[in-house]
A = this chain, B = another copy of it.
Amino acid sequence: MTGAGTDHTRPKIEGGPTIVLVRPQLAVNIGMCARAMANFGLSDLRLVAPREGWPTRDPVYREASYSAAAGAAFLLDSAKLYETAREAIADLTFVYAATARERGQMKPVTTPAAALPQTVARIAAGERHGVIFGPERTGLDNDEVALADSILTFPVNPAYASLNLAQAVLLTGYEWFRAAHGDAIPFDNSERSPPATREMTLSFFDFLERELDERQFFRPETKKPVMSRNLRNMFHRMGLTEQDVRTLRGMVVRLIEGPRREPKKASRRNPSEPE
């Protein structure tokens, strides 16, 4: 994990549901929530009466929150402060209350995976959605849950359902990102060597089997067809690239010929080296 995957030249993704932290107890958790939001392109952070104040003047709290936010300090700088949850959600059109337990309130209960695709569609249609999260120790009180249209909860181990505040924000952001931006892998190996053609692979197999045959690998002779098929299937499972086939061929050559003698002939190209 680490910052190594972060590319600040990529366009910053913004938008998504508003994240409202109601009476968060620890400034460090506000920082961790900001970081989780940034990971998934959420950009509207609102704080309701944080216990340690906001923006916190205590240098210890401030350092803890900005350190936890890592590169997402911009979300801490732009976080909006409210006195009540009601004020914090006044401009939203649809509100989820995140809670880890049954709250005895007649509201639909949904999970991020089920809810966020709908949120993506409705935000695209101009609605403003948000999720309110309660304090670390107690969660939202019942009157705060009553402010919401729907309860958002998480599929967790029922014997250990206590999600950390930032982790609840993270799962919300994760499902938002998957729904809004697709589940695309952020990188792949497609620029590596191209896959070997079947002709190239088969030609290597032929070469290998000829050499093995000469060295009487296939014994008894009647087993040769099965042994050969097993061997070919083993190599097929590797999904060989062109470079892989060259490397394997070079490896077999070396096994056959023994150590290279210096100086080797300039005309003989080592087939294991990349082009």
Contacts and interface: CB of A to CB of B under 8 A. Distances in A.
B158 A186 contact: yes
Nearest to A156: B39
Copies of this protein, total:
2
Interface in A136-154: 136-139, 153-154
A168 to B, nearest CB: 5
A241 B159 contact: no
A24 to B, nearest CB: 11
Contact of A13 (B102, B153, B159): B159
Given A111-B185, A159-B6, A189-B105, A1 B134 contact: yes
A187 B4 CA distance: 39
Given A106-B192, A109-B185, A189-B109, A159 B10 contact: yes
Contacts of A193: 106
Most buried by B among A35, A36, A102, A104: A102
Interface string A1-41: 11111111011110000000000000000001001101111
A162 interface: yes
Contact of A5 (B101, B183, B185, B192): B101
Contacts of A137: 2-3
B187 A157 contact: no
Contacts of A2: 100, 134-139, 162
Contacts of A107: 189
A189 B98 CA distance: 15
Contacts of A170: 167, 170-171
Given A111-B185, A178-B113, A193-B106, A100 B158 contact: no
- The bracket for how many chain A residues form the interface is 35 or more
B109 A163 contact: no
B133 A157 contact: no
Contacts of A186: 100, 153-156, 158, 161
A141 to B, nearest CB: 11
A126 to B, nearest CB: 19
A71 B163 CA distance: 11
A231 interface: no
A185 B136 contact: no
A209 interface: no
Closest 4 CB pairs of A and B: A5-B100, A5-B161, A5-B101, A102-B187
20 contacts: A1-B136, A1-B162, A1-B168, A2-B138, A3-B162, A12-B160, A13-B158, A13-B159, A35-B162, A35-B164, A39-B167, A41-B160, A101-B187, A102-B188, A106-B189, A106-B192, A106-B244, A111-B183, A155-B183, A156-B177
